[in-house]
Amino acid sequence: MSGLLFRFRWLLSVGAAPLALLLLLILPAPSFIHSATNTAVIELRLSAVEEPNSGRQITEPHIARIPAAGKKLSRQPSPPREQGLASKPVASINAPVARPTVAQSTATQASPDAHESAVNAAAAHAAQLTPPAAMPPDFESNAEAAYIAKVRAYLQDSKRYPTGREASLQRPAGTARLWFVLSRSGELIDCGVQRSSGSMLLDNSALSTVRRSTYLPFPGEAWKGRAQQRFVVELNFVPAH
Partner 1 sequence: MSSWCLCTPKKWAVLALFNFFSLQAAAQESADVGSIVVEGDSPSEGLMIQEDTPKARSSVTRAAIEQKSSLNNSFQMINLLPGVNSYSFDATGLFGGGVRVRGFNSDQLGITIDGVPVNDAGNFAVYPQEFADPENLQEIFITQGSSDTDAPHVGASGGDIGLVTSNPLDKSRALAQKTAGSNNASKIFVRADTGYMGTTGLKSFISYSEASADKWKGAGGADRKHLDFKSVLELSPGSSITIGLLWNRAFSNNLRTLTLPQIYTLGRNADWGTVAPQHLTSVGGAAVNEVAPANGYYNLNLNPFDDRIATIKGNFQITPTLRLDVEPYYWYGYGTGGNELRTLKEKNAAGATTLGGGISDINNNGNTLDTVMVYSGALTETNRPGITFRLSSQLDNQKLMFGYWFEQSHHRKTQPAVRFTNGGISVDPWLQNPANYILRADGTPYQGRDFLTISKGQSLFVQDDIGLLNDRLNLSLGLRHAGVSRDFTNYPSEGGVNYYNIKADYFKTLPSLGARYQLNNEQQFFCNIAENFKAPPDSVYYGLFNGPTLLPVNVGAETSTNWDLGYRYAGRDLSLSGSLFYVDFRNRIASAYDPVNVIFTNFNVGNSTTRGVELESAWRFERQWSIYGSLTYTDSRMKQNLMTGANTFEATVGKQFPDVPQWMAGVALQYRDGPWSANLSAKYTGRRYSTLVNDESVGGFTLFSFDAGFHLPTSGVFIDPMLRFNVYNLFNSNYLYLNAGSGVGFTTRALGAGGVAPSYYVGAPRSFSLMLSGGF
Q: Which stretch binds partner 1 (CB under 8 A): 34-42, 54-62, 98-106, 115-123?
A: 54-62
Determine if 7 is a binding residue for partner 1 (CB under 8 A): no
Among 89, 96, 186, 219, binds partner 1 (CB under 8 A): 89
Residue 190: strand, helix, or coil: strand
Of residues 110-129, those binding partner 1 (CB under 8 A): none
Taking the complex as a whole, the smallest distance from the CB of residue 3 to partner 1 amounts, in Å, to 16
CA distances from 197 to 32, 51, 176 (A): 31, 27, 4
Using the minimum distance from each CB to partner 1, give the nearer residue, 72 or 99.
72
Helix (H) or strand (E) holding 145: helix 142-158
DSSP 227: S
d(CA 207, CA 186): 17
E strand or H helix that includes residue 68: none
Q: Is 170 in the site for partner 1 (CB under 8 A)?
A: yes
DSSP strand E in 44-198: where? Answer: 174-183, 188-195
Per CB under 8 A, contacts with partner 1 among 21-50 are 21, 24-25, 29-30, 48
Residue 219 interacts with partner 1 (CB under 8 A)?
no
Among 61, 96, 186, 219, binds partner 1 (CB under 8 A): 61
**Cβ-based nearer residue to partner 1, 64 or 102:** 64
Amino acid at 177: R
- Least distance to partner 1 from the beta carbon of 113, Å? 14
Q: Is 221 in the site for partner 1 (CB under 8 A)?
A: no
**49 beta partners:** none
Contact 97, 73 (CB under 8 A): yes
183 binds partner 1 (CB under 8 A): yes
Q: Does 102 bind partner 1 (CB under 8 A)?
A: no
Judged by CB under 8 A, does residue 105 bind partner 1? no
Nearest CA to 47 out of 129, 158, 141 is that of 129
Residues 62-81 that bind partner 1 (CB under 8 A): 62-65, 68, 80-81
Residue 41 or residue 232: which is nearer to partner 1 going by CB? 232
Q: Binders of partner 1: how many residues, by CB under 8 A?
A: 100
Question: Whole-angstrom Cα distance, residue 65 to residue 192?
Answer: 23
What crossing angle do the helices spanning 142-158 and 112-126 adopt, rounded to 10°?
150
